[in-house]
Chain A
Amino acid sequence: MIQKKNIIIIMHKPMPGSIVLWIFLIVGIIIILVFWSVYRKSRDGSRHISNPEKIRLVIFLGIALISAIYTIFTLPKNPYFSYAEKLPDKVILVEARMFNWNLSGPVDDIRPGDVVEFRVTSSDVNHGFGLYNPEGIIIAQVQAMPGYENRLRVRFEKPGNYTILCMEYCGAAHSYMSGKISVR
């Protein structure tokens, strides 16, 4: 029952993914409750909203405001600028090919706290470079596209074995395409 243990570990840790999941569940439940209460009031034909256009405007402005705030807060948190201001501690070159990750660079020589720049490309089809922490949670990813080099900077916080999985479907052995980076 490794799987169950895994779920419990993750549930208790504030992983970015679980934050998104909670937001989703809470908003989803609110929507369901709204629909449920409207459904409850749909049988007798007795009530009606006196000023629907005003409420509509309020809803419109409210949602627009929430969206704007969320966008303003999340837009700068993108991987295109992360750790851009300083020299990376290590540079690792990643060449994806069916069905291998060819890593060159100090793969086994990363210390906790290091900022590592990954230069990711592919020599055949599109692949996805997905970096999993030792708990099995993705911490960063970038696409590997033939003809292009995508660069990604990641800060390794904890020691341990990090796994690379393929995040873009690339053929029959897509699920078996993995690599390893150790931080110690």
Chain B
Amino acid sequence: MIIIIFMFLAILTSDAFCYTEEYAYINKNVPDISIDSLEGSFRLSEIVSKKPVLMTFIYTRCPQACYVYLNRLSEFFKKREIFYNVAVMSFDPRDSLDDMGKLRQILATNWIFGISKDIEALLREVGFEYKEVDGNYDHPFLLVALDRDLKIVRRVKDFDGIEIIPQIEKDLRGEFTPRSKFQKGGFLSCFRYDPATGDLRISWGYLLILIPPILTSLVVGVISVLSRSLHG
């Protein structure tokens, strides 16, 4: 019966190890590219010297995915106090400042929307790869946190990356958290990641270490009853 319970738990869990490709990028410096934004032209170092920057890369002709991603991002930021700049950069050379202006209207945020002629150099350093498929681009969603020295502090990928923002904020502040987790939480995992605080919360997996004591009480109870009844 125990085996069946465990089998059931097994079906509920399916995690794969997710190793840290991020480690290859952290601490690397990015090139100080020049950016044309809706607020005017400046160098990247000028913005990061005021505030750290969280940067993401999209293209405006994207049929859907980029917009969904940016919407999720803006939804997430609404609930948070932001002490850094958010920069949305286009990696598509066809995009103009007008396109970025339209994008800002759709999203209605005070982020930095920019294009750059040196964008390829930046993309190389942060490991952003894309390929063209029928006029559209196949690309990952990347969130890169830069500190005041133009150094990569964190680099997270895809929609799950949005949830890690609270942790990224802690890293930007230099706040010490002795632990973090790469794996997504399954049913049998020890921790659940809490996207609101960026902390790990104890999850169901830990309850498994309570099973031995509980089963023991049962076993002892059964032995007790059995031996008394055999005696009587």
Contacts and interface: CB of A to CB of B under 8 A. Distances in A.
B partners with A: yes
Interface of A: 79-81, 83-88, 91-93, 95, 102, 104-106, 117, 119, 121, 123, 146-153
B178 A91 contact: no
B23 A83 contact: no
B51 to A, nearest CB: 15
B182 A147 contact: yes
B176 A149 contact: no
B178 A150 contact: yes
Interface string B172-187: 0111111111110000
A105 B27 CA distance: 6
B26 A151 contact: no
A88 B177 CA distance: 12
B180 A91 contact: no
Contacts of A147: 15, 17-18, 181-183
Contacts of A117: 176
Interface of B: 15, 17-20, 23-24, 26-27, 173-183
A104 B181 contact: no
A78 B174 CA distance: 19
Contact of A151 (B17, B173, B180): B180
B182 A105 contact: no
A155 to B, nearest CB: 13
Main secondary structure of the interface of B (DSSP, over half): loop
Most buried by A among B17, B23, B26, B180: B23
B23 A93 contact: yes
A122 to B, nearest CB: 9
A91 B182 CA distance: 18
A151 B15 CA distance: 23
Nearest to A148: B181
Given A147-B183, A151-B178, 7 more contacts: A87-B173, A91-B27, A123-B17, A123-B19, A146-B17, A146-B19, A149-B180
A81 B178 CA distance: 8
A114 B115 CA distance: 38
B174 A87 contact: yes
A151 B174 contact: no
Given A80-B178, A84-B176, A88-B174, A95 B183 contact: no
A50 to B, nearest CB: 41
Nearest to B28: A104
A148 B176 CA distance: 16
B181 A95 contact: no
Given A91-B27, A104-B23, A104-B27, A149 B174 contact: no
